[in-house]
Structure 1
Amino acid sequence: MTSHNIVKEEEIRQFAVRLVGLSEGSSTGLSRYARSLYQELTLQEVTVGVTDFKTPSIPPFVGKLGFDSAKFFSTFPVALPDAVGNTVTHLTTQNHASAVAFKKVKRLVVTVHDLITLCYNHYPEFTTHLKYYDKFFNRLAAYGLKKARMLIAVSEYTRQDIIRLLSYPSDRIKVVYEGVDRQNFRVKEVPTNFYQRYNLREDIPYLLNVGSEDPRKNIRRLLAAFAKVSAEFPTVRLLKVGAAEFRHERQYLLDEAKLLGISDKVVFFDRVSDTDLAYFYNIATAFIFPSLYEGFGLPALEAMSCGTPVICSNAASLPEVVGDAALLFSPTDTLEMATLIKRVLSEPDLQKHLRRLSIEQAALFNWEKTAIETAKIYRQVVELEKEASMKRKPSVC
């Protein structure tokens, strides 16, 4: 019997849980979190089910106005089915809290990955893409979060944001780090057909970035830094993996790369499978993550799990996640970013050192630990609900 199982049997009782917002078809970090948590909770013998949101009926003419109601209401749901019995309800992302803004849900737990869009007044430079209806539903979600019995923050940085921006009681916020799928994201041989499929070569160095073109991802400065690197290392290519969710920003980046004279050295890939994503990490000489804000920073952890040297910004939660296993730079200093990249490209011993540290750091984050700590929170919520129920009962003289 493992130590984890001893903890589970002594501290976690069987109870029913429903995970809400599990999207099997999505490849985003949020859906990966929900799927991985579901799978591991099941392995930990927690009785867990999945609940979908009810999609509101939208008049057909609305779609002709350019409003994607299906996508919008999957992000900001408005109708949550009632729970059965003493079930714990776990919303797996903060956006889904819009569904409980006007609904009382007992034993409610919400995972908060970040508060960027929920508190756009505090982060105006990151949320210029938000429309008026986005802001309205963000406010609903923020209101819904305050109705949760407990919140799970994926980092201490996010926990402090919740306290600072939502004034939520600190004793009801627990930090539970995300895990990394080490079965897929690991050091492994890259097949030749992978290179052929993406028109890549095996004999040149690649730098890699994974994520969207969200302004907070700081890709504009990455291009500026890469232009400096390319001047000294002309064979290096920058690979940008991630769906173009911000079309205007993607076009700006394409135009900027052309102005910098590096458009033939920067390659954009949209959605790729998790299997291929692991191969992208494995072929990279370094993973560059210049974000201005991250609630956790899962791509950096996935890169580390693949033994890829990580160079990332010294901002938000990233130092907390990468520890001493990455090279850090100020996210607004393109010269410092370029200098670190050139250093890794030119020093094989440093690459080897960072690979070893990366694998060790990534090993600290695993889904089994995440599931066990999450299940403990479920039990706490059940106990808190019992205590509150007892207090509501009238005393008998």
Structure 2
Amino acid sequence: MKFDVEIVYDATFAINQHRGMGKYINNFVGVLKNNIGLRALGLLRTGTKVDSNEYHSFGFSIYILWEQFSMYFFTKRIESMVIYPYNTSTIFLRKSSKNVLIIHDLIYFNNSKDRSLRQKVGAVYRRFVVPRIINKFEHIITVSEYSKQQLLNRFDLDKNMVNVIPNSIGFNKSDIILNPKYYERGNYILHIGGEPSYKNSKSLLYAFSKLPDHIKEIYKVKMIGIRDNKVLHQYKKIASDLAITEAIEFLPYQSDEQINDLYKNAKMFIFPSFDEGFGIPIIESFKFGCPLLCSHSSCFPEIAGNAARYFDPNDENSIASAIVLTIEDEEETISKIELGYKQVEKYSSDMFVENVKSWYNKNFKV
């Protein structure tokens, strides 16, 4: 079977319920198709059902086998640009100027605890694959200067081969009036976290327990991302031991629309991670006028600038103090919201389009 396309890419995590890496590759390929005019084909495992001729399913149904073998034999037969968008590729890959690797972060090299079995397997797989493939690529894209520096520190790479194209979000200044004012927002703290220890989600529970009683009595925490039942039980036990069970709501999977509503109505968003490659919730908070409290570590100062209220992620008292200041110093909080609207413009969809076009014209346009 022949495919009249100029780009093929792994579309595994770019369909159905996708965030993060899936959105990034969809946006990236969208620019190549809609703004540059290239023809693209998304590659999927056998059994993946998508009602579109823009995708092709083939090979193994198990992802690791599919990436390592099915993708390898498929791409050997084509001359198109091949994009590997999820940190890894087949280890049998031969060095070629047509291949593009997107690395979002190197967090999987950390020995994070509390990962689900699926996350543990994924981390081991990436730790094995990435060192064996990274020097086979002439084109590497990452999402922040922080992540680029991590790549250069860990691997023997030419810095000119690593390009930074940050994540993006749809934002128009006219949308600001659709966001509730700070005083109109609900008395809850929003957090999107996860099971791995680097997400540091547990610290929010301990920090909340240290808040003054008059705040704990009227505020709640809405937490998204704790999906593993064993880990969720641990979190509920911590909340029970701290006597804050009634104040903590663990939300199941939320659609994009539901998450947007949560941002719009939250009194603040707390992002206590020790490490992130970019931190998409930063720009989501800014877009919806939700005050951002985050760690003063990893990529956060680069992405959030002076629009966030920072804390020490290793210190629960520091997190608690940031919460109290956000509530009690409304003037400063509203000032941060306004700075957030300015900061998010750097990561607008229009900026993303220009970044991708510039990268393509520099590296591939004849």
TM-score (ref. length: structure 1) = 0.77
Residues 69-120 of structure 1 deviation map (CA, whole Å, 9 limit, x = unaligned): 96754996643122776422222220xx23x211226311111110111xx2
By how many angstroms is 1:277 displaced? 0.9
Residues 43, 72 of structure 1: CA spacing in aligned structure 2 closer, same or farther, 3 A cutoff?
Answer: closer
Residues 328-358 of structure 1 deviation map (CA, whole Å, 9 limit, x = unaligned): 1111011111011111112222232121111
Residues 134-178 of structure 1 deviation map (CA, whole Å, 9 limit, x = unaligned): 524531233223211111110011001111112222221111111
- Of the structure 1 ranges 296-305 and 46-55, higher mean CA displacement relative to structure 2 is found in 46-55
By how many angstroms is 1:379 displaced? 4.0
Distance 1:77 1:144 in 2: 11
Contact 1:109–1:149 (Cα < 8 Å) also in 2: yes
Contact 2:198–2:274 (Cα < 8 Å) also in 1: yes
Tell me the equivalent position of 1:336. 318
Tell me the equivalent position of 2:34. 43
Aligned with residue 249 of structure 2, among 267, 286, 297: 267
SS at the partner of 1:235? coil
Query: Which amino acid letter does the alignment assign opposite residue 264 of structure 1?
Result: E
Contact 1:184–1:274 (Cα < 8 Å) also in 2: no
- Of the structure 1 ranges 259-268 and 139-148, higher mean CA displacement relative to structure 2 is found in 139-148
Query: Which amino acid letter does the alignment assign opposite residue 145 of structure 2?
Result: E
SS at the partner of 1:47? coil
Contact 1:243–1:271 (Cα < 8 Å) also in 2: no
Query: Which amino acid letter does the alignment assign opposite residue 70 of structure 2?
Result: A
Distance 1:257 1:346 in 2: 25
Task: Answer yes or no: is 1:235 the counterpart of 2:218.
Answer: yes
Tell me the equivalent position of 1:288. 270
By how many angstroms is 1:363 displaced? 1.2
Contact 1:230–1:236 (Cα < 8 Å) also in 2: no
Contact 2:45–2:63 (Cα < 8 Å) also in 1: no
Distance 1:337 1:83 in 2: 51
- State how many pairs are aligned: 340
Aligned with residue 114 of structure 1, among 78, 89, 105: 105
Q: How does 1:1-397 map to 2 (within 5 A)?
A: 16-21=6-11, 23-54=14-45, 73=64, 78-80=69-71, 81-82=74-75, 86-94=79-87, 97-98=88-89, 100-104=90-94, 106=96, 107-117=98-108, 120=109, 123-125=110-112, 131=120, 135-136=124-125, 138-182=127-171, 187=176, 204-229=186-211, 231-233=213-215, 234-242=217-225, 244=227, 246-382=228-364
Contact 2:139–2:161 (Cα < 8 Å) also in 1: yes
Distance 2:252 2:153 in 1: 35
Residues 341, 71 of structure 1: CA spacing in aligned structure 2 closer, same or farther, 3 A cutoff?
Answer: farther
Identity %: 21
Contact 2:294–2:300 (Cα < 8 Å) also in 1: yes
SS at the partner of 1:232? helix
By how many angstroms is 1:230 displaced? 5.8
Distance 2:162 2:203 in 1: 34
Residues 374, 236 of structure 1: CA spacing in aligned structure 2 closer, same or farther, 3 A cutoff?
Answer: same
Distance 2:232 2:282 in 1: 21
Contact 1:185–1:278 (Cα < 8 Å) also in 2: no
Query: Which amino acid letter does the alignment assign opposite residue 166 of structure 1?
Result: F
Residues 71, 303 of structure 1: CA spacing in aligned structure 2 closer, same or farther, 3 A cutoff?
Answer: farther
Unmatched 5+ stretches in structure 1: 1-14, 57-68, 192-201, 387-397
Contact 1:24–1:31 (Cα < 8 Å) also in 2: yes
SS at the partner of 2:27? helix
Contact 2:309–2:322 (Cα < 8 Å) also in 1: yes
Query: Which amino acid letter does the alignment assign opposite residue 158 of structure 2?
Result: P
SS at the partner of 1:33? helix
- Of the structure 1 ranges 42-51 and 231-240, higher mean CA displacement relative to structure 2 is found in 42-51
